[in-house]
Chain A
Amino acid sequence: MRLGVGIFGMQSVPQRPDHHVKLYRDVLEDAELAEELGFDSIWLSEHHFWFDGYCPADLPVAGAILGRTTRLGVGTAVMLLPMHPVQKVADDATTLSRLGEGRLSLGVALGYRDAEFDGFGVQRKDRGKLMDGMLPRLAESCRAAAPPVPLYVGVASAIAAQRAARLGLPLFADSTMNPQELREMLAAYNAAAAAAGVSSPHAHALQRDVFVTDDRERDWAMLLPELRYMRRQYGGWSFPQEPDETVPSYLGRLESDIEAKLKNLIMGDGAHVTARLREFEELGFDLIVCRSQFGNLPRESLHRAFEGLSRVRGDLAHWPGARRAPLT
Chain B
Amino acid sequence: MAGRAQGASHMKLGLGPIDLKGATRSRLESLGAQAVASSFDAVWVSESRAEGVGGGLASAAMLGQAVPIRVGAAVDAGLYHPLHLAEDIAIADLTSQGRVEVLLRFATTGASRYREPDQHGWFEEFLGVMAAALSGAHFQWNGEHLRVPARLSANQPAPERLALNPRAAQPAVPIWVEAPGESLEALARDLGFGIAAHFKPGAAVPARTGRWPGMVLCRANADPNDLLAAAGESAGYFLIAAETRQEAASAGKRLAGPMRMPDFPEWIGHE
Contact = CB atoms under 8 A, between A and B. Distances in A.
- The interface centre, meaning the residue of B53, B61, B92, B158 with most chain A CB atoms within 10 A of its CB, is B61
A120 B155 CA distance: 12
B84 A60 contact: no
A59 interface: yes
B166 interface: yes
Contact of B150 (A23, A28, A121): A121
Interface string B162-186: 1111110100000000000000000
B159 A59 contact: no
Given A88-B79, A91-B55, A121 B146 contact: yes
A321 interface: no
A84 B24 contact: no
Interface string B196-239: 00000000000000000000000000000000000000000000
B52 A91 contact: yes
B95 A88 contact: no
B51 to A, nearest CB: 9
Contact of A64 (B96, B151, B165): B96
A59 B95 contact: no
Interface residues of B, number: 59
B20 interface: yes
A190 interface: no
B165 A50 contact: yes
Interface stretch (A93-101, A267-275, A306-314): A93-101
Contacts of A50: 165
Given A85-B114, A92-B58, A96-B58, A60 B154 contact: no
Interface string A57-82: 10111111011100000000000000
A119 B92 contact: no
B28 A123 contact: no
Contacts of B20: 95, 99
Contacts of A54: 165
Nearest to A89: B54
B61 A94 contact: no
B94 A94 contact: no
Interface of B: 20, 22-25, 28, 47, 49, 52-55, 57-66, 79-81, 83-84, 87-88, 90-92, 94-98, 113-115, 146-152, 154-156, 158-159, 162-167, 169
Interface of A: 10, 12, 20-21, 23-25, 28, 48-57, 59-64, 66-68, 84-85, 87-88, 90-96, 98-101, 114-115, 117-126, 240
Given A59-B88, A117-B155, A118-B152, 5 more contacts: A28-B95, A85-B84, A91-B49, A96-B58, A240-B156
- Top 5 A-B residue pairs of the complex, sorted by shortest distance between their CB atoms: A91-B54, A67-B65, A95-B55, A63-B58, A67-B62
